[in-house]
Amino acid sequence: MKKVVIIGNGIAGITAARHIRKHSDYAITVISAETEFFWSRTALMYIYMGHMKFEHTKPYEDHFWKENNIDLFFGRVNNISSGQNMVICTDGTKFTFDYLILATGSKPNKFGWEGQDLNGVSGMVSYQDLEMIEAHTHQIERGVIVGGGLIGIELAEMLRSRNIDVTFLVREKDFWTNVLPSEDAAMISAHIREHHVDLRLETELDKILPDDNGNVRAVQTIDGEIIPCQFVGLTAGVHPNIDLAADSGIETDRGFLADEYLRTSVPNIFAVGDCAQLRNPPPGRQPIEPLWYTGRMMGEVAAKNITGTPVAYTPGPWFNSAKFFDIEYQTYGQVPHDCPDNQHDFYWQHQSGRKAVHIRFGKEDLTLKGVNSFGIRMRHELFDTWLRKGIQIQEFMDKLEDVNFDPEFFEDHSGEIRELFSQKFPQIRIKAGRKRNKILGLF
């Protein structure tokens, strides 16, 4: 019987294990140094805020693994010998394999700041980070968060939920402007401030200052300002965890390099999830995409390739979602900060400053390129189909109601959005729109 070893029990490794079991009777061992059982990292903030207990974030009951003949080993691998098809753990335990799947996830970025390893400084990725944040934010007055991305804003919400003052250092002109167009970023920056976060834009960390006991006392910005605090969250992005690459013979760049079948440079070793870097990413996709659903898709693809159904990784159009305090955000296709010269840019914002839609479409072919939506839920499956087929902007605007996924009692803004669109682009003829049958979701 073939043996598969998987390093990492996150969404990518666990999905691979489940699908290998579905398609084969191979022996499967999943190794993780973080937690004994798979848990949902995306729910980390809800544990801290008291909305969920850790137990509730485990997608499977503890008995699931035994019942499905998947062995779990709680320990750290510290060496991969690809020549001997063996992994060796820090406690000396060895596992041999026919196939190895690397699903080692991400690590928080640290840029060599003075004081980055003091007590009370933490990233926010692992369960251990959650424990650290919990231990160092008990009844404190102020936390400083360094780095304005999706994890930073979650940490800000977590600390505010306990009435801790938050100073949020963001290098860019507005929150997340390296990703969001200016209007979107300005709206979210204003919303962050509404939640009483001291948002410092165009402000960078210089160093973290200690007290006499090696605890955080303050941060110093590059402008020389000293901000007293008792906790510092480092949330300036993540990078693939490739610690195990050394002496393994597996080719790496920023991540473990993988082809379209998610195979690394060693043919019986695969890389999935946050730790993988695609050599040739599909159009519109990045080589490294540290996202839950990409990890899940990759795990399934690797499992199929290992169990004998060769299949390439084809994730389809880009999609992502997040929450900025009270504003839900979804993005479909490509809406980069700067609008490409050959595209039109259309932005609608509701007077509340909590809802917006940002649309990009081609100037020549009028095909939809991407949509950001804030505070309005949209249907992922429809975008997936429409972006794949290259829907034209007229058809998209006509079908705005179809894509709206808000509950029945929510206000529908399709009419207003179309009206503004017609004012801005009078040369593009769109229909006045239809009324949505909210009960059946039909028109």
Ligand X SMILES: Cc1cc2nc3c(=O)[nH]c(=O)nc-3n(C[C@H](O)[C@H](O)[C@H](O)COP(=O)(O)OP(=O)(O)OC[C@H]3O[C@@H](n4cnc5c(N)ncnc54)[C@H](O)[C@@H]3O)c2cc1C
- If one asks whether residue 69 binds ligand X (CB under 6 A), the answer comes out as no
Q: How far is the CB of 104 from ligand X (least distance, A)?
A: 4
Distance from CA of residue 289 to its chain's centroid? 8
Indicate whether 327 belongs to the interface with ligand X (CB under 6 A): no
Which residue number, 10 or 181, has a Cβ lying nearer to ligand X?
A: 10
Q: How many residues of this chain interact with ligand X, rule: CB under 6 A?
A: 34
Per rule CB under 6 A, is residue 230 in the interface with ligand X? no
Residue 140 binding ligand X, by CB under 6 A = no
The single residue among 18, 19, 21, 41 that binds ligand X, judged by CB under 6 A, is 41
Could you tell me which of 164, 118, 169 has the C-alpha nearest to residue 147?
169
DSSP state letters, 237-265: -EEE--GGGTTT---BSSSEEE-TT-B-S
Q: What interhelical angle do 11-23 and 292-306 show, nearest 10?
A: 30
Segment lying near ligand X (by CB under 6 A), choices 4-12, 52-60, 249-257, 388-396: 4-12
- As given in the structure block, the two tokens for residue 338 are 């700067």
Out of 17, 19, 105, 164, the only residue in the binding site for ligand X (CB under 6 A) is 105
Q: Tell me: does residue 315 bind ligand X (CB under 6 A).
A: no
Is residue 106 a contact residue for ligand X (CB under 6 A)?
yes
Long-range contacts of 426-433 (CB under 8 A, 24+ apart): 428/366, 428/393, 428/394, 429/394, 430/394, 430/397, 430/398, 431/397, 431/398, 433/398, 433/400, 433/401
Is residue 293 within the footprint of ligand X (CB under 6 A)?
Answer: yes
Total residues belonging to the chain: 443
Q: Which stretch binds ligand X (CB under 6 A): 19-27, 33-41, 302-310, 386-394?
A: 33-41
7 lines the binding site for ligand X (CB under 6 A): yes
Q: How many CA atoms lie within 13 A of 433 on its CB side?
A: 20
10 counts as binding ligand X under rule CB under 6 A: yes
Tokens 């949505």: give the residue: 436
Question: 329, 305, 330: which is closest to 317 by C-alpha?
Answer: 330
Stretch 345-384: interaction string toward ligand X, x if CB under 6 A = ----------------------------------------
Q: Rg for the chain (alpha carbons), in Å? A: 24
Q: Is 72 in the site for ligand X (CB under 6 A)?
A: no
Would you count residue 152 as binding ligand X (CB under 6 A)? no
Q: How is residue 188 written in tokens?
A: 């979210």
Q: Interface with ligand X includes 77 (CB under 6 A)?
A: yes
- Interface with ligand X by CB under 6 A: which residues? 7-13, 31-34, 41-42, 44, 76-77, 103-106, 124-125, 151, 154, 241, 244, 273-274, 290-293, 295, 322
